[in-house]
């Protein structure tokens, strides 16, 4: 990631850390609105970077197709709270194609699927969280040789919990009053079963479908790669 993207990530981390300290002077801020603005800034940074990349039309179409697949796959699973293959599809996309594609697939998947499931102030947060799932998998893929099912599954499980924990911060600062340690811990305790279902689903999808999806996406990646040989 570029320096400006890293800077935005650091800013978001600091603001999230500040919001997690109950009964501090910063609690007078409208965190619900302020957090959406900051996360929107992060999304703008990644989208702007993607727009200015030297990428082909095929890569754009592939990114859109992967995002559409991840979005559509989420809709039928909406009846089962927190269980969906979207996180897995976003992560395997980032694992194969890199952090920028991984983030775009995750962000677009959240945006598109919410047209069916409901848009709201949570949408930018979901876009950011799923995008970062793609970035995290891309970092693993850049240091791994081929597909590593155990490492990928472990990361999938961790991503399920991290996704929920970040979304909990948004829920806490937006809907819970007062902002203190009791309400903070209660919010996380109540979400733990749902986060566990999300994490377990990621692990299951990774172990069952991970290698097959990796091989399919790897073939697409090879078709997009053009190599030149000196005559």
pLDDT in tens, the chain (231 residues): 555 555 555 655 665 565 556 555 555 666 666 666 666 676 777 777 766 677 777 888 889 999 999 999 999 998 888 899 999 999 999 999 998 899 999 999 999 999 998 888 888 899 999 999 999 999 999 888 889 999 999 999 999 999 999 899 888 888 887 778 888 899 999 999 999 999 999 999 999 999 999 999 999 888 876 544 444
> Which two three-digit tokens encode residue 148?
């590593």
Q: CATH: 1.10.260.30, 3.10.20.740, 1.10.275.10, 1.10.1760.20. Which one for 3-224?
A: 1.10.1760.20
State the pTM of this model.
Answer: 0.81
CB 77 within 8 A of CB 138: no
- Domain residue limits, the chain: 3-224
Name the percent of the chain in helix, strand, coil, to the closest 5. Answer: 80, 0, 20
Instruction: Report yes or no: 63 and 90 within 8 Å, Cβ to Cβ.
Output: no
Which is it for the CA torsion 45, 89, 134, 82, positive or negative? positive
């Amino acid at each position: 990631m570029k320096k400006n993207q890293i800077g935005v990530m650091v800013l978001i981390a600091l603001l999230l850390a500040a919001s997690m300290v109950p009964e501090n002077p910063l609690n007078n801020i409208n965190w619900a609105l302020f957090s959406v603005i900051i996360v929107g800034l992060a999304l703008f940074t990644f989208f702007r970077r993607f727009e200015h990349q030297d990428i082909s039309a095929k890569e754009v179409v592939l990114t859109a197709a992967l995002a559409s697949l991840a979005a559509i796959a989420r809709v039928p699973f909406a009846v089962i709270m927190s269980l969906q293959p979207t996180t897995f599809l976003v992560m395997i996309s980032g694992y194969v194609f890199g952090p920028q594609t991984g983030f775009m697939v995750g962000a677009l998947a959240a945006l598109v699927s919410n047209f069916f499931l409901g848009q709201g102030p949570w949408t930018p947060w979901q876009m950011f969280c799923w995008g970062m799932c793609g970035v995290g998998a891309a970092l693993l893929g850049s240091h791994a040789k081929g597909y590593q099912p155990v490492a990928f599954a472990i990361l999938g499980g961790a991503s399920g919990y991290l996704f929920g924990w970040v979304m909990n911060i948004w829920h806490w600062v937006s809907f819970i009053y007062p902002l203190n340690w009791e309400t903070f811990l209660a919010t996380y305790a109540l979400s733990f079963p749902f986060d566990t279902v999300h994490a377990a689903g990621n692990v299951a999808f990774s172990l069952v479908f991970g290698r097959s999806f990796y091989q399919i996406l790897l073939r697409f990646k090879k078709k997009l790669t053009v190599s030149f040989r000196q005559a």
